[in-house]
Structure 1
Amino acid sequence: MKITVIGTGNMGSAFAKQLDAAGHTVRITGRNMAKANTLAESLANVSAYAAADALGDSDVVIVATAYLDAVPALQSLGDLTGKVVIDITNPLSADYMSLTIGHVTSAAEEISKAVPAAHVVKAFNTLFAQVLADGPLFADNQRGSVFVAGDSEHAKQTAVSLAQSLGWNTIDAGDLVNARYLEPLAGLNIYLGYGAGLGTLVAPVWLNK
């Protein structure tokens, strides 16, 4: 796939490395273009672009920014009509221990309202950056899960295909409204990682018996 990644932080960098390893063509952009350039120079399938040029002919956009930065970052790319936007954000408080919105909306739904011509999918938000960077295999050869929610079946299947190309199991989490469940799930994972001291190599999975 041809993919644009917005963000050069821990999550954006982890995505760039994993997507590169899977053979995808990646355009990366962010506020820190020096970091974007350095990352691109180290990865064969990754190129760095200023925001205005970063969309190109990408089929998918991964928004790997803080929630409050997501909409301006997406809008800086230009026309997103028909693009699949994978929202990995969580609307976290300053101390990361609570969500700033929920119950009647979600980060994904608010982003979708702001870029209505795009097809927004919620996915990857339940993973720590270190887990994403290390890949989908855990102890005892367990494989991690990526939950995928969206209103467009095509967009969901695109996100599923992308996640599976990186080795993850995927769980169809229904319509985008169910991001209201996935974002609190990420909040629980963050609490377990930091508040309960389990560290950043934990992630929720869904098991079939």
Structure 2
Amino acid sequence: MPYGHASSRLDQSSRNPLRARAAGGQACGKSIAAPPSIDGRTGSTAPAPPVGHPRGAARSAPGPIRRSRTCRGPPDAEPNARARRREGALTMSSISIIGLGQMARVLADRALDGAHAVEVVGRDAAKAADVAAALGRGATAGTVGAAPAGDIVILAVPAGSAVPVVSRYGDALAGKVVVDISNPFNSEATGVVTPEGTSVAQEIAKAAPASAHVVKAFNTVFGGVLAQGRPVDVFLAGDDARAKARTSAFVESIGLRPWDTGDLAMARWLEGAGVLMMGLGRHGVGAYDFSLGVTTAG
């Protein structure tokens, strides 16, 4: 869908801890247009769902890569920011992104803005090379199935592909932080297709090596909003405290605000929040240019 520019908030009350923020306004720095659809298609006027929607299976040639300076809020705006940094060695220097859609490209662009080394990986080697070249700044193209170069591996693939991809990599993911950003929507994006009591992230954890640690993150941020370069909130969940701290440090390094929701079982509800966002986009907001966020009172 085309990007909209809303200026109002659904709820501006500090008493309500969960709010949906409109994502309009001026982004930092100069930029060129990013692809208008979260599922990687350019020129689409269809509503753009969060990553993982079944429509995301269709991919186009790489669109233009957005260039902007990342908007950064106060470094200690989030109460636990200092504590996370004290845990040491949390800011990662290398990120591998498996997938070549819009969300993959936007995350890669912001990671490069945050001074990380970035590797992009896709089934189409030529397309991966094109995406890396378009990103510039030393981005490289990896090989599907080979050990990812990054210490953090972001799975930017449709929900139905996530577990097979992790199974294919097998022990090559040993010791990695594996970040799942998918949403397992049904065909109408009115519910999830995962069985009760589990989530895509939990199924990924079962398929991954024991030394890999899965974190759910970024599934509650629309790619079009992320591409604007604005500081938005990112909810995450995982069983390993250090993996969550490393993911949170990465989130902060690209100008976003991490919020820890608990262990990996919470991924079920984060994936449900993706459905909530689709409902808001269709009804309450009437567009997909908003983000969910947290406001603390006091």
Which aligned runs of 4 or more in structure 1 are off by greater than 6 angstroms? none
Which residue number in structure 1 is paired with residue 221 of structure 2? 127
Which residue, 151, 173, 193 being the options, matches 2:239?
A: 151
- Which residues of structure 2 form unaligned runs of 5+? 1-92
| More divergent stretch after superposition (33-42 vs 10-19) | 33-42
Question: In structure 2, do the counterparts of structure 1 residues 191 and 32 end up closer, same or farther at CA, with 3 Å as the change threshold?
Answer: farther
1:114 positional shift? 1.1
Which residue number in structure 1 is paired with residue 281 of structure 2? 193
Which residue number in structure 2 is paired with residue 32 of structure 1? 124
CA RMSD of aligned residues (A): 1.7
| More divergent stretch after superposition (103-112 vs 155-164) | 103-112
- Which residues of structure 1 form unaligned runs of 5+? 138-142
Which residue, 164, 171, 174 being the options, matches 2:262?
A: 174
1:82 positional shift? 1.4
Which residue number in structure 1 is paired with residue 38 of structure 2? none
1:89-168 equivalence runs, <5 A? 89-101=182-194, 103-117=196-210, 118-135=212-229, 137=230, 143-168=231-256
Contact 1:51–1:76 (CA<8 Å) still a contact in 2?
no
1:44 positional shift? 1.2
1:30 positional shift? 1.3
Contact 1:24–1:45 (CA<8 Å) still a contact in 2?
no
The alignment of Structure 1 onto Structure 2 pairs a total of residues equal to 202
Which residue number in structure 2 is paired with residue 140 of structure 1? none
Which residue number in structure 1 is paired with residue 151 of structure 2? 59
Which residue number in structure 1 is paired with residue 72 of structure 2? none
Correspondence 1:208 to 2:288? no
Which residue, 93, 100, 104 being the options, matches 1:8?
A: 100
Q: What is the TM-score when the length of structure 2 is the normalising length? A: 0.64
Contact 1:91–1:101 (CA<8 Å) still a contact in 2?
yes
Partners in 1 of 2:132 and 2:259 — Cα distance?
31
1:163 positional shift? 0.5
Contact 1:28–1:54 (CA<8 Å) still a contact in 2?
no
Partners in 1 of 2:286 and 2:294 — Cα distance?
19
Secondary structure of the structure 2 residue equivalent to 1:77: helix
Secondary structure of the structure 2 residue equivalent to 1:4: strand
Partner AA of 1:203 in structure 2 = S
1:15 positional shift? 1.0
1:147 positional shift? 0.8
Identity within the alignment, %:
38
Structure scoring higher RCO (CA < 8 A, sep ≥ 6) equals: 2
Q: What is the TM-score when the length of structure 1 is the normalising length? A: 0.90
Question: In structure 2, do the counterparts of structure 1 residues 76 and 26 end up closer, same or farther at CA, with 3 Å as the change threshold?
Answer: farther
Question: In structure 2, do the counterparts of structure 1 residues 81 and 169 end up closer, same or farther at CA, with 3 Å as the change threshold?
Answer: same
Secondary structure of the structure 1 residue equivalent to 2:131: helix
Which residue number in structure 1 is paired with residue 111 of structure 2? 19
Which residue, 72, 76, 84 being the options, matches 2:164?
A: 72
Contact 2:186–2:193 (CA<8 Å) still a contact in 1?
yes
Partners in 2 of 1:185 and 1:71 — Cα distance?
21
Per-residue CA deviations over 1:136-185 (Å, capped at 9, x if unaligned) read x2xxxxx4211111110110001100100111111111111111211111
Partners in 1 of 2:195 and 2:167 — Cα distance?
23
Question: In structure 2, do the counterparts of structure 1 residues 54 and 196 end up closer, same or farther at CA, with 3 Å as the change threshold?
Answer: farther
| More divergent stretch after superposition (102-111 vs 182-191) | 102-111
Partners in 1 of 2:196 and 2:261 — Cα distance?
16
Partners in 1 of 2:290 and 2:188 — Cα distance?
19
| More divergent stretch after superposition (99-108 vs 69-78) | 69-78
